[in-house]
Amino acid sequence: MSMFASSPPIEISELVPIRDLILEQTGMFFEEKKFYFIEKRVQKRMQATNSTSVREYYRLLKLGGGDEIGQLIEELTTNETYFYRNIPQLQSFAEEALQLLVEEKRKAGDYRLRIWSAACSSGEEPYTLVMLIKEHLHDFARWKLEVVGTDIDTKIIAKAQMATYDERSVKDVPPVVLNKYFENQGGRHRVRPEVTNLVQFHHLNLMDRYAMRRMQGFDFAFCRNVLIYFDEDSRKKVVNGIYDALNPGGFIFLGHSESVGKLSGAFKLVKFQKSLSYRK
Amino acid sequence: MSKKVLVIDDSPIVRNLHSVMLKTAGFEVSEAENGFDGLEKAMQSRYDLMVVDVNMPKMDGFTFCREMRASEEHKDVPIIIVSTEAEAEDKMQGFRAGANLYLVKPVKAEQLIENAKMLLQ
Amino acid sequence: MNDEHRHNVNRLIHDLEHGDETTRRFAAEDIEFGKNFEAIPALSKGLGDSSIAVAEACSAALIAIGGEAVAEAIVSNLGSEDVRLRNLTSEVLSGLGDAAVPILANQLQSLDRDVRKFAVDSLLMIRSEASMKALVVALDDNDVNIAATAADGLGEIGTANHLEILATYLTTEDQWMKCAVVRGIASIGGPKALRLVRPYLNDEDMVVRITSIQGLGKIGLVDSAQALLEMLALDDLGFYGGEVVTALYQVLGQLERDHFPSVEPVQVIGNLSRLVVSGASDQRMKAIEMFSILNLKDYAEALIPALGDDNEDLRELALQCLEKLAPQNLQPFAVLARDTAKTDLERDGAIRVIASSILPERDALLLEALQSADKVTIKGALSYLPINVGPALSRELAQHLTSEDLSLRLATALAMGRLAAPEFIPLLVPRLQIESEQDIKDAIDNALIQIGSSGSNNSIAPYIQSFTQEERSIALELYGYENPVSRQKEIIASLGDQHTHIRVIGLKVLANLKLLTLPIVEHALADEDPTVQVEAIRGLALLNLGDQLIPTLKSYVEYGPVKYERVQVELIQLLVRSGLLEALEIIKPFLHSPSTWIKIEAVEGLRAIGNSSVLPDLQELMDDADEDLLEALEQAIYELEG
Alpha-carbon gap: C626 to the closest alpha carbon of chain A (Å): 11
Q: Which residues of A touch C566 (CB under 8 A)?
A: 50
pLDDT in tens, C278-293: 888 889 999 999 999 9
Report CB contact under 8 Å: A62, C628: yes
Q: How close is the nearest chain B Cα to the Cα of A273, in Å? A: 5
Q: Per-residue pLDDT for C123 more than 80?
A: yes
Q: Which residues in B lie closer than 8 A to residue C211 (C-beta atoms)? A: 13, 17
pLDDT in the model for residue A150: 94
Given a contact cutoff of 8 angstroms between Cβ atoms, the answer to whether B71 and B52 are in contact is no
Which of B34, B40, B58 has the highest number of chain A CBs within 10 A, making it the mutation to test binding with A? B40
Once rounded to an integer, what is the mean pLDDT over residues C332-348? 93
In a shared domain, residues C529 and C637: yes
| CATH of residue B47 | 3.40.50.2300
Q: What is the 3-state secondary structure (H, E, C) of chain A?
A: CCCCCCCCCCCHHHHHHHHHHHHHHHCCCCCHHHHHHHHHHHHHHHHHCCCCCHHHHHHHHHHCCCHHHHHHHHHHHCCCCCCCCCHHHHHHHHHHHHHHHHHHHHHCCCCEEEEEEECCCCCHHHHHHHHHHHHHCCCHHHCEEEEEEEECCHHHHHHHHHCEECHHHHCCCCHHHHHHHEEEECCEEEECHHHHCCEEEEECCCCCHHHHHCCCCEEEEEECCCHHHCCHHHHHHHHHHHHHHEEEEEEEEECCCCCHHHHCCCCEEEECCCCEEEEC
Question: Given a cut of 70, is residue A275 above it in pLDDT?
Answer: yes
Beta-carbon separation of A63 and C600 below 8 A: yes
Mean pLDDT on C98-102: 94
Angle at C462 between CA C460 and CA C466, to 5 degrees: 115
The whole-number pLDDT of residue A151 equals 87
The tens digit of pLDDT for each residue in C137-195 reads 999 998 888 898 899 889 988 888 889 999 999 998 888 889 899 999 999 999 999 99
If you average pLDDT over residues A225-236, what whole number do you get?
76
Hey, are the CB atoms on B57 and C87 less than 8 Å from each other? yes
Domain ranges of chain A: 12-77, 87-279
C207: contact with B, CB 8 A cutoff: yes
CB pair distance less than 8 Å for A56 and C569 = yes
Q: Name chain A contacts of C56, Cβ cutoff 8 Å.
A: 240, 264-266
- Position A29 scores a pLDDT of 66
Structure confidence at residue B2 (pLDDT): 81
Q: What's the average model confidence in pLDDT over B29-36?
A: 90
CATH code matching the domain that covers A12-77, chosen among 1.20.950, 1.10.3470, 1.10.155, 1.25.40? 1.10.155
pLDDT band of residue A212 (cuts 50, 70, 90) is very high
- Would you say residue C265 has pLDDT above 50? yes
**Residue C80, number of CB atoms within 10 A of its CB:** 15
* Mean pLDDT for the stretch of residues C197-216: 90
Is 90 exceeded by the pLDDT of residue C486?
Answer: no
Q: What is the pLDDT of residue A67?
A: 64
Query: C510 and C402 in one domain?
Result: no
Does the CB of B22 have a partner CB in chain A at under 8 Å? no
The partner residue sitting opposite B39, judged by closest CB among A273, A274, A276, is A276
| Chain C, nearest residue to A47 by Cα | C468
The boundaries of the domain holding residue C554 are 523-642
Residues C374 and C340 sit within 8 Å (Cβ to Cβ): yes
Query: What integer is the mean pLDDT of C82-88?
Result: 84
Q: pLDDT band at residue A74, thresholds of 50, 70 and 90?
A: low
Q: Is a pLDDT exceeding 50 seen at residue C557?
A: yes
CB contact under 8 A, C29 and A209: yes
Query: Chain-wide mean pLDDT for chain A?
Result: 84
pLDDT over 90 at C315, yes or no: yes
Cβ–Cβ < 8 Å for A265, C56 = yes
- Chain C residues in contact with A264 by the CB 8 A cut-off are 52-53, 56
Query: C506 and C533: one domain?
Result: no
Give A126's pLDDT tier (boundaries 50, 70, 90): very high
| Least confident span in A271-275, C388-392, C446-450 | A271-275
Residue A5's pLDDT is: 41
Q: B119: pLDDT confidence band, cut at 50, 70 and 90?
A: very high
Q: Does C22 touch chain B (CB under 8 A)?
A: no
The answer to whether the peptide bond before residue B106 is cis (omega within 30 degrees of 0) is yes
In this complex, do B13 and C211 lie within 8 Å of one another by their Cβ atoms?
yes
Q: Over the stretch C596-616, which tens digit does the pLDDT of each residue have?
A: 888 988 998 998 888 889 999
Same domain membership, residue C531 and residue C631: yes
Prediction pTM value: 0.68
Which chains pack against A, by 3+ Cβ pairs within 8 A?
B, C
**Given a cut of 80, is residue A6 above it in pLDDT?**
no
Closest residue in A to B72 (Cα) is A273
ipTM of model over 0.90: no
pLDDT in the model for residue A61: 85
Report helix, strand or coil for B81: strand
Single out the residue of C394, C382, C366, C480 nearest to residue C440, CA to CA: C382
pLDDT value for A79: 45
* Nearest residue of B to residue A269, measured between CA atoms: B36
Strand order in the sheet with B49-53: B28-32, B4-8, B49-53, B79-83, B101-104
According to the model, what pLDDT value does residue A24 have?
A: 64
Chain C residues 373-392 within an 8 A CB cutoff of chain B: none
CATH of the domain at C562: 1.25.10.10
pLDDT of A4: 36
The rounded percent of chain C whose pLDDT value lies above 70 is 98
Grade residue A97 by pLDDT with cuts at 50, 70 and 90. very high
Residue of C nearest to B110 (CA): C239
Determine whether the interchain pair A274/B67 forms a contact, defined as Cβ–Cβ distance below 8 Å: no
C601 against A230, higher pLDDT: C601
Q: Based on the structure, what is the number of domains in chain B?
A: 1
Neighbours of chain C (3+ CB pairs under 8 A): A, B
Q: How far is A58 from chain C (nearest CA, A)?
A: 11
- According to the model, what pLDDT value does residue C127 have? 87
More confident residue, C302 or B60: C302
Interchain proximity A243–C453, CB inside 8 Å:
no
Mutate which: A4, A6, A54, A252, vs C, most C CBs within 10 A: A6
Contact call for C597 and A213, based on CB within 8 A: no
Query: Is residue C607 in a domain?
Result: yes
List A252's β-bridge partners, or say none: A221, A278
Cβ within 8 Å, pair C206-B26: no
Helix extents (H) in C255-385: 265-277, 281-293, 312-325, 331-338, 344-356, 361-371, 375-384
Residue C184 contacts B, CB cutoff 8 Å: no
Q: Would you state the pLDDT for residue C280? A: 87
pLDDT tens column, C13-69? 999 999 999 999 999 999 998 999 999 999 999 999 999 999 999 999 999 999 999
| C563 inside domain | yes
DSSP B48: S
Give the closest residue to A157 by CA, choosing from A21, A20, A27, A253.
A27
So what's the pLDDT on residue C499? 93
Residue B28 domain boundaries: 4-119
pLDDT at A3 over 60: no
∠ CA A97-A98-A102, rounded to 5°? 120
Look at C301 and B70; give whichever has higher pLDDT. Answer: C301
CA distance C448 to C420: 8
Q: Who among A261, A273, A274 is closest to B40 (CB)?
A: A261
pLDDT score for A257: 59
Q: How far is B62 from chain C (nearest CA, A)?
A: 17
Topology at the third CATH level for domain A87-279: Rossmann fold (3.40.50)
The answer to whether the CB atoms of A271 and B72 lie below 8 A apart is: no
**C511 and C533 within one domain:** no
Task: Check residue C16 and give its pLDDT.
Answer: 94
Residue C223 lies inside a defined structural domain of this protein: no
Q: In this predicted model, what pLDDT tens digit does every residue of B40-70 receive, in sequence order?
A: 888 778 899 999 998 887 788 898 999 899 8
Residue of B nearest to A88 (CA): B44
Is residue A43 scored above 80 in pLDDT?
Answer: yes
Residues of C in contact with A56 (CB under 8 A): 569, 573
Do the chains contact at C87 and B26, CB–CB below 8 Å? no
Which ranges of chain B would DSSP assign to H, the alpha helix?
12-24, 35-44, 61-69, 88-97, 109-119
Q: How far is C390 from chain A (nearest CA, A)?
A: 24
CB contact under 8 A, C279 and B22: no
The rounded percent of chain C whose pLDDT value lies above 90 is 50
Q: Which of C312, C289, C311, C291 is nearest to C300 (CA)?
A: C291
The confidence score (pLDDT) of residue C497 equals 92
pLDDT given at position C547: 78
Look at chain C and report how many structural domains it folds into: 3
Is the CB of residue C606 less than 8 Å from the CB of residue C595? Answer: no
pLDDT of residue C532 exceeding 70: yes
